[in-house]
Amino acid sequence: MVFYILRRLLFLPLALFGVSLLVFTMIGFLSPYQRLATFINNPERLKGENVDKLISQYGLDDPIFIQYLRWLKNVFRGNLGWSYVGKGPVFEVILERFPYTLELTIFSVIPIIFLGISLGVISALHHNRVVDHALRIFAVVGWSFPDFVFGLMVLMVFYSALGWFPPGNLSIWAETVVKSPVFRHITGMLTFDALLNGRLDIFWDALRHLLGPIFTLTYVELAFILRITRSSMLEVLQRDYVRTARAKGLSEKVVINKHARRNALIPVATVSGQTVVGLLAGTVIVETIFNRTGLGSFMALAAQQLDYASIMGGTLFFGLILILGNLCVDVSYAFIDPRVRLE
Amino acid sequence: MKRFSLCLVVVFLFFTIGGVAFAEIKNPDTYIYLSISEPDTLDPHFAYDTASGEIINFVYENLIAYKGESVSEFVPRLALEVPSAENGLVKDDGKTYVFPIRKGVKFHNGNDLTPEDVEYSFERGILFDPSAGPMWMLIEALFNYGTLEDFVADKLGVSWQDMFNEDGSLKNEEYAQKLVDFYNQYIDPAIEVEGDNVVFRLVRPFAPFLSILAQNANWSAVLDKETSISMGLWDGKAENWWKYHNLKKEESPLYQQAIGTGPFKFVEWDRAQQKVTLVRNEEYWGEKPKLAKVIIWGIDEWSTRRAMLETGDADQIYTPTQYYDQVKELPGVKVEKGSRITVTTMHFNWTVSKDSKYLGSGQLDGEGIPPDFFSDVHVRKAFCYAFDYDTFIQEVLKGFGHRVPSVVPRGLLGYNENLPMYPFDLEKAKEEFQQAWGGQVWEKGFKLTLLYNTGNEARQTACEMLKENIESLNPKFKIEVQGVQWPTYLDAYKQGQLPAFVIGWLADYPDPHNFIFTYYHSGGVYGGSQGQAFIDFAKANLNKLIEDAIAETNPAERAKKYEEIQKIAYENALGIPFYQPEEIFSMRTWVKGWYLNPMRPGEVNYDTIWKEE
């Protein structure tokens, strides 16, 4: 299996190279004027000679392969360029923002997967009865709800009306503490750092700011897992070995938990992996509504403004996450399903 | 598993308890303003947007400032007196300005303000002159050139590109001496320290000079020379000054640092959160602000901003007028109204680039327009008659705006509401179309595309109203309205492909020259974008009048000249002046002492405002 992982990892730089070339070429189809939008966001600044000066200053009119080589050369020197959207070196900006995305992912993935699986199992066990129908409607509504609508509802109810889940990362008082020199930044994730610093009040505050996004994401993403679990469970429950287990006189609890559910979880693992990777790539809408400073809102802005250094840096980063994420999912099969051998 | 999920739900609910009570003033000595953008850069000589200007304005200070809400009266700031002909500090028929510099003022790092700091600041800005930055204003006022590079090229007889290699080194060492001489001969004498005074020498009188210097104009902010040099800004020497010219935004050492003399100190710019923090300058020489802390926070999503105002977590939020209904009755919130000096207009391209996608067939055959379609005055007049100004202002802007006769907004010299304006009159529009292009337009019809930059609903609606009205005149008239993203719009605009464009201009300084030149002079930012035929027209009919008007020192005479220019604009239908917008400002009722100076970047007077129920 180690050999398998190593082989997969060897492909990583190749894949990233391919992706970067593809994206860069696509950017290359845009005219220098379009790409100038990164540098000038206001028509008042479009004095004739300024525009051409800026284009040559940033080399936007060079042939695309020269621009690509220039970018590649800098990447090998560890310089991903300057992000005009993030107002800093691309690498720094990504590192600064990723912990926020990771934190939200960690906290949302737990309810999404556990609630999704358990509700899915419950649904399957009550096949075509009231509980099943109710859960299915619940899931379909969540799945078809656009996240911006649900996010706004959460914001209106739980913040405007009740004052529970404020947007942003922290309250003003907590931010003052976090930015003071006594507060040590270890993971970059506010909740974990607060615990490591022994500041329960700040942990509480950071978590309170996370709850709105978690709640929104859980409801919107949960349905997917729920439905896969349900159908997979239904299928497994028809299998001969489940009937055999029952015929052996095993208790229903053992049949469900040990024989049926474990086998039903194989497709769920794939889907969960995708969900995690998707969440890690940032959730634009939720981050925007709740004013979280993660990667999603950053990449959306970068794409809108054609900030190519940010786009390229983000692409590499997401490519990396996607490849590693899929690798983890593949490896996890070996543990869940003994029939799978990775070679 | 069932039990586990139950636990989760309980934990979930448990965490949510800890709700916030309502009503009392939150953060009593901190002001939280939610905007939609974050600063572009904190370098006063690079910044050319209101979000940057807002920060710079309270950290740095200028020589003079506007008095309260006025944009024509000044009070001294870092200068001891406002120069005028009466007090003898404006001399040589308006070509020399003398500023006695205040003593006992300290920068935030403890250094004393000296006249040398003032001289250094202006010279550094002019030599730096970043592309698409604001320094052209001072370069125009002092030297009558558009950019430093033009100035150098004209005096040395060699263009900047011919003097320098790609990496910024000189192609030929003999240019070095010429550039040093250039500095010594032109830049250095223009701004000089004489005793406790700083003297500016202009090549010709320039009426709005003081307003280019006044507080709110970040390009005229005063830096600390010693600190600046130690940070790596221009070293103050004639040798090698060109190495500090036109750096990239992020290469300027002042990009995210700010040390001025102002009422607030800059603490931090949190780039991830788009949040800038300022604290009161306890050693401020003037009246100290009542607020201890200011947080200016960019939050793009309107609902989020609104919710934070509603709960009192924010004191004031940026509110586009279309959301007026959502804030006007919010408990604990008040809405103020005010106008800035700005206009929104539509202009025509008299010579559209031939490869434009927006011309249809490119001929007057009913399926397109020829590139010079708008060079016929009848076409332009017909468009002017076909816009329903009042309905637009009432229905679309919800009354937050008013008509203007030309591109000169209300509140400026030369604005005269009695100047002629085109009424909304479809009969007249029809008559004009019947005369256009010798009757061919009416007979054959036309088809063209109007582009707008997505996200601006008012402009989109304006284009669509124009389309409806014009198409109703003749079934052969076809107008397509298309929304595009800013990069696409920018591309089409710069390549001269747009047959007509809706555009706005916010005053850099409160003077009609800033508008008249911009729109009607062949060298203006928008004047130069209206096609070669317009440029020829402007050169023949407008340029000289505009240049005369700016050199005129008598305000009454100037006003007359501007009225004359506006009449030419009316007679030739040089664009459709849609409206001057009004703005709304929503804040908590506990905000006290708020006022709007139309030239202030940002919405808040942090230095004099306070919170009190």
CB atoms near residue B400 (< 10 Å): 20
- Rounded mean pLDDT, B170-175: 88
Q: Nearest C-alpha of chain A: how many angstroms from B49?
A: 8
Q: Give pLDDT, residue B266.
A: 97
Mark residue B265 as left, alpha or beta (left: phi above 0; alpha: psi -120 to 50; beta: remaining): beta
Contact between residue A233 and residue A260 where contact means Cβ atoms under 8 Å apart:
yes
Residue of B505, B513, B500 whose CA lies nearest to B574: B500
| Residue B257 near residue B54 (C-beta atoms within 8 A) | no
Instruction: Determine whether the interchain pair A211/B8 forms a contact, defined as Cβ–Cβ distance below 8 Å.
Output: no
Q: What is the ipTM of this complex?
A: 0.82
More reliable by pLDDT, B562 or B14? B562
pLDDT score recorded for residue B32: 96
- B430 alpha-carbon distance from chain centroid: 37
Beta strands in B142-291 (DSSP E): 191-194, 197-201, 264-270, 275-280
What is the mean pLDDT of the segment spanning B425-434? 95
Indicate the angle between helix axes A308-336 and A64-76, nearest 10 degrees: 60
State the Cα–Cα distance between residues A242 and A184, nearest whole angstrom: 53
Nearest-neighbour CA in chain B from A8: distance (Å): 34
Residues in chain B with CB shorter than 8 Å from the CB of A31 are 491, 495
Place of tokens 């593809």: A22
Max Cα distance, chain A (Å)? 86
Q: How many CA atoms lie within 13 A of B255 on its CB side?
A: 13
Residue B17 pLDDT > 80, yes or no? no
* Alpha carbon A254 to chain centroid, angstroms: 35
* Distance in angstroms (rounded) separating the CA atoms of residues B18 and A29: 53
B245 DSSP assignment: S
- Secondary structure of B441-494 as H, E, C letters: HHHHCEEEEEEEECCCHHHHHHHHHHHHHHHCCCCCEEEEEEEECHHHHHHHHH
**How many CB atoms are located within 10 Å of the residue A127 CB?**
12
Residue A340 inside a domain? The answer is: no
- Contacts A150 to B, Cβ<8 Å: none
What value does the mean pLDDT of chain B take? 91
Contacts of B448 (CB under 8 A, 6+ apart): B358, B359, B360, B368, B369, B373, B478, B479, B480, B499, B500
Which 3 state secondary structure label does DSSP give B581?
Answer: strand
Letter for the amino acid at A338?
Answer: P
- B599 phi, psi to nearest 5 deg: -95, -5
CA distances from B100 to B77, B82, B221 (A): 11, 9, 16
First-to-last CA distance in chain B?
52
Rg of chain B, C-alpha, whole Å:
27
Residues A112 and A254 in one domain: yes
Q: Which fold has domain B60-251?
A: Dipeptide-binding Protein; domain 1 (3.90.76)
CA angle B159–B164–B170, rounded 5-degree value = 125
- Rounded-to-integer distance, Cα B76 and Cα A168, Å: 41
CATH number at residue A262: 1.10.3720.10
Kindly state whether residues A213 and A293 are assigned to the same domain. Answer: yes
pLDDT of A342: 62
Q: What is the pLDDT of residue B23?
A: 56
Both A131 and A204 in one domain: the answer is: yes
Can you tell me the distance from the alpha carbon of A186 to that of B571, in angstroms, rounded to the nearest whole number? 69
Nearest to B273 among A119, A163, A293 (CB): A293
| CA atoms lying within 13 Å on the CB side of residue B374 | 29
Would residue A309 count as lying in a domain? Answer: no
How far apart are the CA of A330 and the nearest CA of chain B, in angstroms?
25
Those residues whose C-beta lies under 8 Å from the C-beta of residue A179, and which sit 6 or more positions away, are B268
Indicate whether B20 pLDDT > 50. no
The size of the A-B interface in CB pairs under 8 A is 169
Domain boundaries, chain B: 26-38+263-339+583-611, 60-251, 342-581
CB contact under 8 A, B132 and A40: yes
Burial (0-12, 13-18, 19+ Cβ within 10 Å), B158: middle
CA distance B439 to B417: 34
The structure tokens listed for A82 are 């300057």
pLDDT band at B558 (very low <50, low <70, confident <90, very high): very high
Supply φ then ψ for residue A61, to 5 degrees.
Answer: -100, 5
Round to whole Å and give the CA distance between A301 and B237. 41
Q: Please tell me the distance from the alpha carbon of residue B261 to that of residue B104, in angstroms, as a whole number.
A: 11
Is the domain of A77 the same as that of A104?
Answer: no
Task: With CA atoms as reference, report the closest residue to B54 among B235, B249, B287, B298.
Answer: B298
User: Which helix (H) or strand (E) covers residue B178, if one does?
Assistant: helix B174-182
DSSP B354: T
Residue owning tokens 């929503």: B586
3 state SS of A25: helix
pLDDT in tens, B486-545: 888 888 888 889 999 998 899 999 999 999 999 999 988 899 889 999 999 999 999 999
Inter-CA distances, A126 with A48, A123, B7, B344, Å:
70, 5, 22, 63
* Co-location of A132 and A257 in the same domain: yes
Rounded Cα gap, residues B36 and B296, in angstroms: 10
Burial class (CB in 10 A: 0-12, 13-18, 19+), B267: middle
At B109-123, the pLDDT tens digits run 999 999 999 999 999
Of A33, A160, A293, the CB nearest to B272: A293
Please, are residues B93 and B553 in contact by the beta-carbon 8 Å criterion? yes
Contact B486 A305 (CB under 8 A): yes
CA proximity to A209, closest of A178, A244, A176, A163: A163
Q: Which residues of B touch A204 (CB under 8 A)?
A: 18
Q: Is B1's pLDDT higher than 70?
A: no
Structure tokens at B525: 């930012």
Report the domain count for chain A.
2
| Of the partner residues B246, B301, B486, the one whose CB lies closest to the CB of residue A288 | B301
Domain B342-581 has CATH 2.40.240.20: no
Q: Which CATH superfamily is domain B26-38+263-339+583-611 in?
A: Periplasmic binding protein-like II (3.40.190.10)
- What is the average pLDDT across A218-236? 88
What integer is the mean pLDDT of A24-36? 84
Structure-token pair, residue B533: 């035929």
Burial class (CB in 10 A: 0-12, 13-18, 19+), A145: middle
Q: Are residues A45 and A106 in the same domain?
A: no
Examine the domain organization and report whether A162 and A206 are in the same domain: yes
Percent of chain B at pLDDT > 70 equals 96
Q: How far is CA B259 from CA B123, B247, B606, in A?
A: 18, 20, 18
Token pair 């005074």: residue: B197
Adjacent-strand bridge partners of B192: B199
Tell me which chain A residues have a C-beta less than 8 angstroms from the C-beta of B295.
Answer: 172
And the tokens for B70?
A: 């006025």
Nearest-CB residue to B15 (from A34, A156, A211): A211
- What are the contacts of A132-137 at 24+ separation with CB within 8 A? A132/A230, A135/A226, A135/A230, A136/A227, A136/A230
Domain stop point among A50, A83, A116: A83
Domain that holds residue A130: 94-304
How many CB atoms lie under 10 A from the CB of residue A202?
23
Nearest CB neighbour to A43, from listed B310, B485, B503: B503
What pLDDT score does A343 carry? 58
What's the one-letter identity of residue B485? Q
Q: Is the per-residue pLDDT at B12 higher than 50?
A: no
CB-nearest to B272 from A53, A97, A156 is A97
Interface test with B, best of A126, A207, A291 (most B CBs within 10 A): A291
pLDDT of residue A33 exceeding 80: yes
Task: Specify if A342 maps to a domain.
Answer: no
Class of residue B154 by CB neighbours under 10 A (exposed 0-12, middle 13-18, buried 19+) = exposed
Asked if B1's CB is within 8 angstroms of A114's CB, the reply is yes
Average pLDDT over residues B334-347: 94
Mutation site for B-interface testing, chosen from A26, A34, A208, A229 by largest number of B Cβ within 10 Å: A34
Indicate the SS3 state at residue A46.
Answer: coil
Span B438-470, pLDDT tens digits: 999 999 999 999 988 877 788 899 999 999 999
CB-based contacts of B32: which residues, under 8 Å, 6+ apart? A172, B295, B297, B313, B314, B315, B316
State which amino acid sits at residue B531.
Answer: G
pLDDT digit string, tens, across residues A157-213? 888 888 888 888 888 888 888 888 888 888 888 899 999 988 889 999 999 999 999
Q: Is the predicted pLDDT of residue B268 greater than 90, yes or no?
A: yes
* Widest distance between CA atoms in chain B: 89
**For chain A, how big is the Rg over CA atoms in Å?**
24
Contact A51 B308 (CB under 8 A): no
Listing DSSP states for B284-300 in one string gives -SSPPPS-SEEEEEE--
pLDDT at B16: 44
